Every structure is written in C-alpha cells, then in structure tokens.
Chains A and B, each alone.
Chain A
C-alpha cells in the first residue's frame, strides 16, 4: 500500500510540475506520454480505460486540493481538450508579514483548535510558512478567545460565498415545531458570542437573521451558484444589532434593601442611603416588567418603594408565584 501511495504522490507532483511548466495546453495523451506513472498501451482498450480512470481521479484530487487546473485547446485544429496550470492562479502571492503580524496569524490559527475549521486553519498556516513567513508557535496576545461555531457555520459560509440559496429547519423556543426557512445568505455574524446568519428570506421577501443554534437540521443548498447579489453597502452587524441594541435605562426607581443582603442589586445602585428600615437604593431601569422580574428574584430582601409601575409589576408577579390572587388572601398571610 505504501508503495502504491508513494508512486501516486510522485506522479501527482510530477503532473503539477509538468502543467506549471507548460504554456500550451497538454492533452491527456500528451500527458500520458510525458509524466511517469501514466505509461500504457493506448491501443489496448482496457489499458486505455484504466489510464483514463486514473487520470480522472488525479485531476479530481488536484482540484480538491485547490490546484487551478485550466482546460482549453492548444489551437483551433485541436479537438481534444488540454490542461495546464497558470502560475499566477497557482502561486500564493507574497505576504510581507512582520514578526508581530505573523505572531497574530499564528495565535489566530490556533483559535480553531476547538472547532470546525481547525484543519483549514492548519493547512492555511502551513502555506504561509511555505511562503516564507516565520510563525512563532509560542506567541500569545494576553487574552485567549475560544472560538466555537455551530454545525451550520460551514455550510452557511460556503453558501454565502457561492451565493446559493439554502433551506434549513429552524425552531425558536416559542414554536412547537421547526419550520423550513428559505434564505439567500449574505453572511454570518458573531454578535456578543452568538452566531447568526443574515440574508434575504425568499418566502417572507424581506431581510431576516437567524440564530445558528436554532437551526435543528441540515442546511441544504438549492438552485444555482451566483443566484443573488447581497446589497451593495451591506453591513452584516447592523441587521443583528438592530434587534439587540443597547437599552437606555432612563427611568429611576427607589428600592429598600435589607442590610447586608441582595449584593447583586447593590452593585447596580447609583447611590445608597442607610435608614432604620434598611438601605434605600436608587436604580436606573428601562422596562418596568423586566426590571420587576429581576427584583423579584431577590425575594423579601428587596421592596420596591417607587414608582408605581415597578411596584405594581413586582406585586403582581409575587402574587402569581405565591399562588395568591385575591387581596383578601394577601391580607390573611400578612
């Protein structure tokens, strides 16, 4: 097996060198007559067929590796297609990375060790090294980001690159079953540690974003490549940030907190005034219901003094949790 593999690799290296060195397109027959490993009797149908299969496999392997095999004919008199590799399409351009930049690339490539594109990061880095870049394997940049992506990341970035429409089953927790979504994906966004895909939803005929962790099945590419164009001045982040922008806490509430308790509330207080009943804190909030829910978490350690909207929302939640709905019952337990 090792012998077979060695001769195959040798043949492929020679094929790459041969096709890089030729300006003319070389036909399969010319390649067979030139590159060691393809020798066969072309008049023998079985041998010739074996050669053709071998050559097809080799071409597929080179293409899978990213070798830009060009096909064309050497002249108008040729009927058979020929092959060559254009050096400008093959060769990695010079990347003049300084030592600090190379260190950054090295650190970046390591981020994938936990996730999807680890092999691609490693082989990409190997090419940079082969291009003359020296990468310090021990460099650090003080903070180690952990890069983790959902399973849908690779198919979606691939489809966005190819501009192919996709479908996928999607389920938000509030729904009882997944629904099939149709999307022309423009790109993928990491926003506050979560991954989203942004694109044109062809069923709803509007831009939409979807959380990758809610894609509950395979992403299928449908239709042609280059089937759509993303908007010209596309800002992917803006689509996601629109739904989860910063909240403006422009209202104030005063709460009474038991001495030494509810440290989680105290951390957010604008100021704290000790009184005989406890500490009175001033807090900023945006939405009364959401804020009340947070305060209720601290139970009897926190009592809302004002305003009424927060106080009432808090009391309503507490009553539901306590299983008390009628004010009479409330008076009883008090």
Chain B
C-alpha cells in the first residue's frame, strides 16, 4: 500500500473516530478496536494524535479531549467533529446496490427490514442517486422451505435432478448454506450418498422432506469458494474440442471454456473440460448442426450413433 493511500485511510479513520466514540461513551478500547478493524495499539496511537488536534488557539480548552477510566474511553470535547463525513458517491452506490441485491434475493429472510434500511440509506445519500436496478427471479417458496430447514438445523431428503447424469434420485443431505450466484440459487450441503460437499441447484430440487434428525456435516465438510463461479471445471477432467459455427458461438459465453481459437469467421475451435462424456454427448446433440466434435473421436462417434439411432424411430 502506498504511503499516500495509508495517509488518506488514516485521515478517514480519525475523522470517524471522534463521532464513533462520542456515540459510545465509556466504550472499552478493545471493543472499539475490534469494531473499527484496527489493533488496540493503533487505536491508542490514533487517540494520542487526536489529543493534540483541535480548534484554532490550540489551548487546553480548544483541543479534543477525552477521559480514560481503566481501559474505557469517553470523549469529553469533540472540537466540532461530532458527525462522520457524508457518504461519498461510491460508498452510497456500494451500500444501495448491495441492499437492492439483498432485497431481490429469492428466499432472503426479513425482506421488510432490508427495504426499510434501503429507504433510510437512500435518504442519507441525499442527491447521490445510485443508477442501478436489480431484478432476480426465483422460487421464493422452495427457498423459504430450505431456509427454515437450515435454521432448524435438520437434515433433508431431496429428490434431485442431476443434469450431469440425466437422472433424478433421492438422497439425504446435511445442509450447510444457501447461496445465490448470478441469478441462481444453490443449496450447499454434505451429500451422504456422495460422501462429499455438493452444490445443489434449487431449481433442480423436485421435492424435499425435512427429516426429524439434526444435520451433521462432518468436520471435513468445508464451504467452497464461489468467487470465480459455482462450478469450476476440474483440471483433471478430459478436454473436449468442438468446431463451432457462427450460430453456435454463444456457448463460449455460457460454458466455461479452456480455449477459444477463431480459426476463420465460420469456424471456431472451442475446448471445454467435461466431467462426464455422456453429458457432453447430450450437450453436443442439443447444440445441433452448428457444433461438431473434433476430439475425442469416441465422442464424435457417440454423437453420430445417437442421431442415427434416434432417426431409426422415425423411419
């Protein structure tokens, strides 16, 4: 971090510190430090600095003053910085957009409080208008059921459709958390059949029963990092290479691709990693004539065979 950035950060922190303490007379230093995200030592240094700041004249009655009682501090004179600075446009946008996102998230608890908070933050932001609108569709009822099961801490029996294997099956899971990523809702849970943490797409849960048994994900059940998307291709999975015509290019926006080579305008070579070759066969069949398999040869053959067999039924 550059020293200019550090100095701006420190100034912002100091201007907040006086009103923060003013609103909480007698707060313990350790509590204030934790709340403000600084070390107790840093907080003491900040207070020492403030102690020599104040109104012009800079006499004893002009300087910011505070009293200490053991490890507790109370501001006794604020020299006029009794309120924090207004929200900057970026700060107002960040809070307002996040609240709008939260309010739109299917299945979220306490939507009413989110809306009330949003109105108050928008008022505080004054003339700063966050030019951002959010709309996320979703099955609120199904999510509300999942959320209350999660709150009660019970295991669930799911009837779940796996698109990877094109089968619906029953399984018992220990729920861990509910997520909403890129407009889709997911249940992250320990799957007892798989013996692993799995992300279940909520729109593929066809039925669910709450069991009279507490959820008990084992210690090894760790939440995944979803910053880069829910499904990361497994680097050990086989690669499939497709020849893609102009009309099929949209797949490069829809599926995570390993590589896209624009050979000619009418022919792109697109590589993806797939966990399941049978899923790849269904994918390519569904994409139709705009997409042809280059490799592996077995997949190209499987696709052609499927089409030939399917045609036989119409003969």
Residue ranges of A at the interface with B (Cβ–Cβ < 8 Å) = 1, 5-6, 8-10, 12-14, 16-18, 20-21, 34-36, 61, 64-68, 87, 89-93, 95-98, 100-105, 107-109, 111-112, 114, 117-118, 120-121, 123-132, 141-148, 154, 157-158, 160-161, 173-174, 176, 185-194, 213-214, 236-237, 241, 256, 261-264, 266-267, 293-294, 296-300, 302-303, 311, 314-315, 317-324, 330-331, 333-334
Contacts and interface: CB of A to CB of B under 8 A. Distances in A.
A213 B250 CA distance: 13
Contacts of A323: 304
A317 to B, nearest CB: 5
B128 A161 contact: yes
B271 interface: no
A318 B116 CA distance: 55
B307 A126 contact: no
B295 interface: no
A294 to B, nearest CB: 6
Interface stretch (B65-73, B85-93, B189-197, B209-217): B85-93
Given A121-B95, A157-B93, A173-B253, A141 B108 contact: yes
Contacts of B53: 10, 13-14, 17
A300 to B, nearest CB: 4
B297 interface: no
B256 to A, nearest CB: 13
Interface of B: 3-4, 6-8, 10-17, 19-20, 23-24, 35-37, 49-50, 52-56, 58, 79-95, 97-99, 101-102, 104-110, 113-114, 116-117, 120-121, 123-124, 126, 128-137, 143, 147, 150-151, 161, 163, 166-168, 177-185, 206, 226-227, 246-247, 249-250, 252-253, 262, 265, 281-283, 285-289, 303-304, 306-315
A121 B183 contact: no
Contacts of B24: 132
A298 B172 CA distance: 28
A231 B8 CA distance: 38
B101 to A, nearest CB: 5
B304 A142 contact: no
Contacts of A294: 286
29 contacts: A5-B6, A18-B56, A34-B56, A61-B4, A64-B8, A68-B86, A91-B85, A95-B121, A100-B113, A101-B116, A108-B99, A120-B88, A130-B84, A141-B110, A142-B150, A143-B180, A144-B179, A145-B181, A146-B181, A146-B226, A161-B93, A187-B131, A190-B104, A191-B135, A192-B137, A194-B182, A297-B282, A317-B288, A334-B312
* Ranked 4 nearest A-B pairs via Cβ: A193-B183, A297-B286, A124-B91, A334-B315
A118 B90 CA distance: 10
A14 B62 CA distance: 11
A183 B12 CA distance: 35
Given A124-B87, A322-B311, A334-B315, A236 B133 contact: yes
Contacts, number: 373
Given A120-B90, A144-B179, A145-B102, A241 B135 contact: yes
Contacts of B19: 130-132
B95 A108 contact: yes
B109 A142 contact: yes
B83 A91 contact: yes
A105 B283 contact: no
Contacts of B178: 142-144
Nearest to A297: B286
A317 B20 CA distance: 68
Contact of B312 (A126, A154, A300): A300
A14 B307 CA distance: 79
Contact of B36 (A96, A126, A143): A126
Contacts of A320: 288-289
A5 B262 CA distance: 53
Given A13-B14, A120-B88, A193-B182, A324 B117 contact: no
